[in-house]
């Protein structure tokens, strides 16, 4: 599988990464290990986790994903895989994670120590802020509401604490997630001004029905050499076409009502149907086309796959060889113009 460099770092990651947020909720430990084995056998060297996982988040399961990875990792060559995880941010009411986490020195130290213990490793290759400490519209929100601003940990303070974690050897590189163009720019500027390690990635939603990255963030990341880690490339299953044939098909949308509000928008089923049609006309599965699209954008460093069974995962991994024709790309853009970003 093709390897891509992450930003200005020395990390070279597979074009497809294994997302793990189903481990511990929809997948058992044995199933998680089977997914990890299959992924690495197909050339995946990049595993993405978070202290919050699995999802939907619950006090009873928090941290279980990292524990499942850790019990696999202790039997695997640590230097053969790149492990990423994330610290949870505030404002989502996670009282069971350090009584509502913040991105400050105290919480960063506690979070990384907890993650390392569960992962059974001495370091993580990429440590990410799962979402900003400050207010930003996210997870379905699309308009900035100044009335929702709140006290926040200064970015300089966050960066200095993260830099100290790099010095300690607990993390190698830092990244962001669910960020905005302003946020990415501020983190880069702060690192330059203070002589601190620079962020190398931003992990945001990116798929056929959410291409908002292509505007401000694409420009920012291009100039600052920050790579996109694209999550939800199949839009919670909508881009597989399964909900078109069976609205009650098994998946996160039906298993966990209320989770994934961004996929409850009116134009989403219409756009999903059009993308499925384009794929079928091209002799591709809808999932293969969607994954190939996300993977082949010039700004994408890696696409984070998520699956609940090995058949799904194998189809997703096989998409690494898919190439979309100019005709298919033209048809995709035509649908995007009719139904722009129905799942922001």
Structure tokens at 293: 């699209």
pLDDT, residue 10, reads 95
Tell me the domain boundaries of the chain: 3-239+291-322
Q: Could you give the angle at the alpha carbon of 95 between the alpha carbons of 93 and 97, nearest 5°?
A: 110
pLDDT, one tens digit per residue, over 147-180 is 888 899 999 999 999 999 999 999 999 999 999 9
**Residue of 53, 68, 127, 231 marked active site:** 53
Q: Report domain 3-239+291-322's class.
A: alpha beta
Residues forming a β-bridge with 203:
177, 229
pLDDT, residue 92, reads 80
Helix axes 286-295, 268-281, angle to 10 degrees: 100
CB 7 within 8 Å of CB 45: no
Task: Give me the residue label for tokens 């969607």.
Answer: 290
d(C-alpha 330, C-alpha 163), whole Å: 44
Structure tokens at 343: 């799942």
For the chain, list residues with pLDDT below 70. Answer: 140
CB 220 within 8 Å of CB 226: yes
pTM above 0.95, yes or no: yes
pLDDT, residue 261, reads 72
Displacement of CA 213 from its chain's centroid (Å) = 13
pLDDT, residue 31, reads 98
Q: Could you give the angle at the alpha carbon of 90 between the alpha carbons of 87 and 92, nearest 5°?
A: 110
CB 6 within 8 Å of CB 300: no
pLDDT, one tens digit per residue, over 61-100 is 999 999 999 999 999 999 999 999 999 999 788 999 999 9
CB 126 within 8 Å of CB 84: yes
Structure tokens at 226: 């920050």
pLDDT, residue 246, reads 84
Sign, CA dihedral 198-203-204-209, equals positive
Answer yes or no: 53 catalytic.
Answer: yes
pLDDT, residue 148, reads 87
d(C-alpha 197, C-alpha 171), whole Å: 11
């Amino acid at each position: 599988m093709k390897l891509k460099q992450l930003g200005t770092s020395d990390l070279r990651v597979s074009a497809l990464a294994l997302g793990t947020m189903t481990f511990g909720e929809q997948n058992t430990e044995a199933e998680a290990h089977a997914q990890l084995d299959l992924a690495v056998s197909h050339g995946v060297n990049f595993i993405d986790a978070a202290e919050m996982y699995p999802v939907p988040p619950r006090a009873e399961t928090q941290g279980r994903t990292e524990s499942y990875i850790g019990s696999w990792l202790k039997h695997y060559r640590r230097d053969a895989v790149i492990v990423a995880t994330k610290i949870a941010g505030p404002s989502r009411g996670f009282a069971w994670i350090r009584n509502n986490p913040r991105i400050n020195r105290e919480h960063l130290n506690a979070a990384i120590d907890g993650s390392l213990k569960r992962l059974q490793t001495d370091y993580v290759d990429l440590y990410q802020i799962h979402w900003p400490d400050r207010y930003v519209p996210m997870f379905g929100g699309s308009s900035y509401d100044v009335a929702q601003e709140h006290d926040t940990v200064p970015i300089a303070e966050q960066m200095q604490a993260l830099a100290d974690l790099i010095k300690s050897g607990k993390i190698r590189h830092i990244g962001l997630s669910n960020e905005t163009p302003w946020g990415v720019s501020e983190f880069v500027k702060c690192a330059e001004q203070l002589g601190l390690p620079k962020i190398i990635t931003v992990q945001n939603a990116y798929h056929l029905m959410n291409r908002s990255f292509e505007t401000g963030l694409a420009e920012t990341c291009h100039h600052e050499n920050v790579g996109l880690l694209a999550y939800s490339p199949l839009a919670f299953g909508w881009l597989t076409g399964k909900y078109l044939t069976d609205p009650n098909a098994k998946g996160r949308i039906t298993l966990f009502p209320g989770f994934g509000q961004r996929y409850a928008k009116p134009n989403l089923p219409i756009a999903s149907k059009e993308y499925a049609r384009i794929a079928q006309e091209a002799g591709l599965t809808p999932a293969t086309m969607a994954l190939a699209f996300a993977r082949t954008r010039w700004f994408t460093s890696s696409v984070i796959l998520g699956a609940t069974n090995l058949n799904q995962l194998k189809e997703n991994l096989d998409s690494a060889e898919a190439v979309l024709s100019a005709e298919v790309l033209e048809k995709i853009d035509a649908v995007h113009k009719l139904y722009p970003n129905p799942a922001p």
